[in-house]
Amino acid sequence: MTTRTSTVVLDGLQRAGWTTSDLWVAAAGIGGDFSRPQVEAIAVGRSPATPMEHDILVAALNDRFVDMGEDHPLAYWVELPPTAS
């Protein structure tokens, strides 16, 4: 199962050169209360993310992109395109 969140998060991980463990640490650093297995399950689409979980993971990745001299390339929940019915 692939979710909108997993698509965004996997793209971000690849672009940032991060592992799910890197994302887990970064998400914890900004207040995310995830286990490493939860982050991995969301990233690979085994578990859907809530809007808040999605935004925390994307914020952690976007912070990394800012550190790399980029803007905020990943979409927050409200910016995601609607799903097809």
For residue range 48-75, what is the model confidence (pLDDT) as tens digits?
A: 999 999 999 999 999 999 999 988 889 9
Enter the pTM of the model. 0.90
Domain range list for the chain: 4-79
3-state secondary structure of 16: helix
Q: Which two tokens stand for residue 66?
A: 């800012």
Mean pLDDT in the chain? 91
Output the DSSP codes for 22-83. Answer: HHHHHHHHTT----HHHHHHHHTTSSPPPHHHHHHHHHHHHHHHHHTT----SPPGGGSPPP
